[in-house]
Amino acid sequence: MYLLTSVNRLLKPKLKKELRIGTRIVTLDFEIPGWRPVHVEDSGGWQGTIYLYVKGVSDIYDEEQ
């Protein structure tokens, strides 16, 4: 996904409801607030930062429920 953090926050309930456990979500440059990425890849250049989330792992400790 390449959506602003504010949009990711609004999309979070839909992701939690409709995705299966184990589904991988990849975002570019913008995090999903309240979720913990299982991996972060920072290119250090113009390509940005990639965040990898896994449904059932990243969202377990969601502070914004």
Whether residue 59 lies inside any domain: the answer is no
The answer as to whether 46 is a domain residue is yes
The label of the residue with tokens 């990639």 reads: 50
Asked whether residue 29 is assigned to any structural domain, the reply reads yes
> Per mean pLDDT, which range of 3-12, 15-24, 38-47 is the poorest?
38-47
Give the pair of three-digit tokens for residue 24: 């991988």
Q: What local confidence, expressed as pLDDT, does residue 44 receive? A: 78
Query: Is residue 61 situated within a structural domain?
Result: no
Would the pLDDT of 64 be above 70?
no
Split into its structural domains, the chain has a count of: 1
- What is the model's pLDDT at position 31? 96
Domain span at residue 19 reads 5-54
pLDDT in tens, 18-33: 999 999 999 999 999 9
3-state secondary structure of 5: helix
